[in-house]
Chains A and B, each alone.
Chain A
Amino acid sequence: MSSDKYDNTNSERSQESSYTEKGAMVAVAVILIFLMSIFGIAGLHILTDDKDFSESENRVLADMPGLTLSGIFDGSFMKDFESYLTDQFPLRDKLISLKTYADRVVGRDEENGVYIGKDDFLFDSQSEYNETQVNEITDAVVKFTKSNKNVKRAFLLAPNSSYIYADKLPRHLEMANQRDQIRDIYKLLKKDSKMTWVNICSLFERSVKESDTLLYYKTDHHWTTRAAKKVFNVLKDKWGLTKTGSIYESAEAEPKYSFYTVSTTFQGTLSSTAGVHDTYDNVEICMPEKSKGTYVVNFESSSQKTSSLFFNEKLEHKNHYEVFLGGNYDKVIITTVSESPNTLLLIKDSYANCMIPMLTPYFSKIVVIDPRYLTDSLDSIVKENDFTHILFLYNLNTLLEDTSLAQCLAS
């Protein structure tokens, strides 16, 4: 607007009441703020350096697309430019938090499929129970374990936090009863009479009643190390595991386990998905005392070897849960100094990652398989090794959506 128009307006109105003049001042202020905001944001956008990667979204951000004629004609330049603009938007993360906050003020507790519960709990939505798919998986498991006659086998299926902490869900939100679903799956697994399992639902429900040990992260979809330890204790008894060998000072004593807090600033995947960043979780690790140097970890696909199951460097990144095993790998072979005759085949999802260190005193060899990444044939792995134990460890959400397990077992 040119300034002479502004003067005109004022002179035209000078005879009117003082309200109008002050009203005009308000109008000028609003216009200035509005213009400053659109020009300011545009300016900030140009002045600030583009980011390559978003930690909170865990993805590469779009950059300025190249201008080509074909890109303009098929509209792809426009689309890419819009992605660039919004990905690199100034204060992007802050604005997303503002949106989440505003939603909560008006009573909306769902962001990108994550529910914002009471006491800062975040919940993943539950996977659908599809009978055909469940039958496929259990049939494959039963067929596989039955073909390995003299092997001890167990199936551990963990519920998700939305079931165990159902009282923390947003009001009126009802989710499926995972206890029933897990019971149904265990029933199907009974077709192999030697199959053992742990009733994790009951175990956890009792724990919630008796103590305030946190069994699931508030900001992540995983269980905590404490929860894994509880399940491990029961499994150990069921399998009658005893340690053998002289790696500890007293050969008779059972290994003691200690917990160490390695992070107090964990904000997991649920936190990222929902864009809620006001709570932090602690991450604890649990390991047998004096277990340092008692095993070698071999990541076969990357031919990398380490002497630890913990990866502290992951604590410098966003996802602190990756401190366990360093993430998910197709096949990891752990050879321990234990003189136990026991060898374990562990077929698992990421819930197992924090439990693996607890298992090391009891097996001389552990082969960890994540079917989602496995390209080798499981059959040949079984033939190469003479396993004494097979353990399946999954959480229900993953299992219900999984297609790789049945495939991998059938191969």
Chain B
Amino acid sequence: MVFSSAVFLFVFFPLMLVLYFLPGFSKNPEKDMAKKNLVLCLASLIFYAWGEPVYIVLMLISIFFNYNLGIDIENHKNSRKKRKSLLIFGVAFNLFMLGFFKYSGFIVDNINAVTGNEIEYEGLPLHVGISFYTFQILSYVIDVYKGEVKAQKNIVAFGAYISMFPQLIAGPIVQYSDIEKQLTSRTVTIEKFYEGIIYFIRGLGKKVLFANTIGAVYSQVIAGDIASLSVVSAWLAVICYTLQIYFDFSGYSDMAVGLGKMFGFEFVQNFNFPYKATSIKDFWSRWHISLSSWFRDYVYIPLGGNRKGTKRTIINTMIVWSLTGLWHGAAWNFIAWGIFYGVLLILEKYVLKDFLEKLPTAVKYMGTMIVVMIGWVFFSSASMGDALTLIGSMTGLGGSFIDSQAKYLLSENVFLILVMSLSATGVFDFVSNVRTGRTKKICESVLYLAIFTLCIAYLISETYNPFLYFRF
């Protein structure tokens, strides 16, 4: 199930609210919380099973396995060796699940390509959310091993953590240590619920009004022959994709944060105006923050981070960024995209540091944005060849500078692109923060309720499907 659907908004969510806030059978706050966690856990499993009726079994296996593993590790407090072997076994198991269901096709393809064999395999359907929840599980197992958190003794609370529907499909990746306390004690206040609604509507608007609409423009341009795109068309496509991916992804995160608040949780912010960044390092401290922190905490630092000299730092950085690329998808263009950023970050840190520091902020900003957009070309293309072709068209290899399609699409969407750019760079937030107080809150509230109405209209329109004797 996705948040931006009628079935979530008008069936699942209202039912879930009623069950969750229905006064518990007991006045005892602990028992009330247990009931709330039970509702959350069961609802999350249904939420997941709605789109993945078979894969739910895998998730249940993961929950049971890691629940027992956590307790087991904790029970061997005194045997370092035993704990370590449990940890290795656990990490291997979780990575195997992830590897098998997400990467087996990719691995077999590459083995075939290298050895010339033709091993056949049956393509597995995409297992939504597995990348996110596997990383959450790993954070738990490793932290229990390190003794930084206590093993969760309540399987319902543990299940709720792994399957928690607000962030199940698209993050943020919530580390167990951040949420441990909230699993057993959290409150919802009027103000928090209100904030939750505002966050949720903001995310829904980002997704439905912005990302989907501008994504359609991108698809329209890219549907043609990318080798013969005019310069303006090619840039238009890349700009549209750049906007689409930000609004889509951060929209989901906002919705997750908002839903979390409505149920009393505080999730980490996943995005902080990444398109305001003035360096690549800055960009990655603002984009998909929960993923970067995860890699920092569970890969980069355990590898030694930057404490073992320049050479090791460079190697560690490249390992982290190759993995980051691979995490995004089982294809070489994602790995290339990760390595692209690894190399740039190293260059930025060791080679270009002094030079970059002297540049005016505007230049730094433009440079960063262009690098990010070229990154998205690799990210979005179906193959490395397509990516290079599109970059070629951006530089004029496609032919003309501007064609009639570009003129038309630009004139149709220029307003939207402008509004989205201002919104993505935080200009609107800056303007709205000039005023504070009740008037602002009222205006904001009216605006968000209007956005909610529009979102419903756009969502329903997506299913508008006239069957017409069209050509007749």
Interface residues of A (CB under 8 A from B): 1-2, 5-6, 8-9, 19, 22-24, 26-31, 33-35, 37-39, 41-42, 45, 56-59, 72-75, 78, 81-83, 85-87, 89, 92, 95-96, 98-100, 102, 106-110, 112, 124, 170-174, 221, 269, 272-273, 275, 328, 349-350, 372, 397-398, 401
Contact = CB atoms under 8 A, between A and B. Distances in A.
Contacts of B188: 1, 5
B404 interface: yes
20 contacts: A1-B193, A8-B189, A9-B191, A19-B437, A27-B191, A27-B441, A33-B449, A34-B201, A35-B17, A78-B51, A86-B460, A96-B464, A99-B458, A102-B457, A108-B412, A173-B408, A174-B408, A269-B468, A273-B470, A398-B472
A39 B14 contact: yes
A49 B454 CA distance: 25
B197 interface: yes
B449 A221 contact: no
B456 A57 contact: no
Contact of A273 (B13, B17, B21, B468): B468
B411 A41 contact: no
B116 to A, nearest CB: 37
Contacts of A92: 460
Interface string B172-205: 0000000000000001111101100110010000
Contact of A34 (B50, B441, B452, B467): B452
A5 B472 contact: no
Contact of B469 (A19, A56, A328): A328
B141 to A, nearest CB: 31
B456 A95 contact: yes
Contact of A350 (B189, B419, B464, B472): B472
Contacts of A272: 466, 468
Contact of A30 (B416, B449, B453): B449
Given A5-B189, A107-B416, 13 more contacts: A1-B193, A5-B188, A26-B441, A31-B194, A41-B10, A83-B463, A95-B460, A96-B457, A99-B460, A106-B415, A107-B411, A112-B466, A172-B404
B6 interface: yes
Given A89-B6, A96-B460, A59 B469 contact: no
Nearest to A397: B471
Interface in B414-472: 414-416, 419, 437-438, 441-442, 445, 448-449, 452-454, 456-461, 463-472
B23 interface: yes
A100 B466 CA distance: 15
A96 B21 CA distance: 34
Interface residues of B, number: 63
The 3 A-B residue pairs with the shortest CB-CB distance in the complex, in nearest-first order: A27-B194, A59-B467, A174-B404
Interface residues of chain A: helix, strand, loop or mixed (majority): helix
A64 to B, nearest CB: 12
B362 interface: no
A7 B152 CA distance: 33
Interface in B296-332: none
Nearest to A108: B412
B53 interface: yes
B11 interface: yes
Contacts of B411: 107, 170-172
Contact of A58 (B14, B201, B419, B468): B468
Contacts of B5: 82
B189 A42 contact: no
B452 A19 contact: no
A59 B14 contact: no
B413 interface: yes
A273 B188 CA distance: 45
Contacts of A39: 14
Nearest to A10: B190
Interface string B11-48: 10110010001010000000000000000000000000
Contacts of A29: 445
B56 to A, nearest CB: 11
B407 interface: yes
Contact of B190 (A27, A34, A269, A401): A27
B54 interface: yes
Contacts of B60: none
B472 A42 contact: no
A24 B415 contact: no
B7 A19 contact: no
B9 interface: yes
Contacts of B413: 107-108
A29 B469 CA distance: 47
Instruction: Name the residue in B414, B453, B456, B457 with the highest tally of chain A Cβ atoms < 10 Å from its Cβ.
Output: B457
B467 A57 contact: yes
Nearest to A57: B466
Contacts of B453: 98
B14 to A, nearest CB: 5
B11 A85 contact: yes
Contacts of A82: 5-7
A26 B404 contact: no
Contact of B461 (A59, A95, A109, A350): A95
A350 B472 CA distance: 6
Contacts of B191: 9, 24, 27
Contacts of B410: 172
Interface string B205-244: 0000000010000000000000000000000000000000
A320 to B, nearest CB: 14
A99 B471 contact: no
Contacts of B197: 30-31, 34
Given A41-B10, A110-B412, A24 B53 contact: no
B10 A38 contact: yes
A99 B461 contact: yes
Nearest to B32: A2
Given A42-B14, A58-B467, A95 B190 contact: no
B194 A38 contact: no
Instruction: Name the residue in B13, B404, B469 with the highest tally of chain A Cβ atoms < 10 Å from its Cβ.
Output: B469
B452 A37 contact: yes
Contacts of A73: 53-54
A19 B466 contact: no
A24 B410 CA distance: 43
A170 B470 CA distance: 21
Nearest to B470: A269
Contacts of B13: 38
Contacts of B17: 35
Contacts of B416: 106-108
Given A2-B23, A31-B190, A26 B445 contact: yes
A59 B464 CA distance: 11
A83 B449 CA distance: 25
A151 B210 CA distance: 60
A185 B38 CA distance: 71
Contacts of A349: 471-472
B465 to A, nearest CB: 6
A56 B465 CA distance: 10
Contacts of B468: 58, 269, 272-273
Contacts of B190: 1, 5-6, 9, 24, 27-28, 31
B438 A23 contact: yes
Contacts of B6: 82, 85-86, 89
Interface in B52-78: 53-54
Contacts of B461: 95-96, 99-100, 275
Interface string B282-307: 00000000000000000000000000
A74 B10 contact: no
B457 A98 contact: yes
A72 B408 contact: no
A23 B198 CA distance: 14
Nearest to A268: B468
A272 B470 CA distance: 10
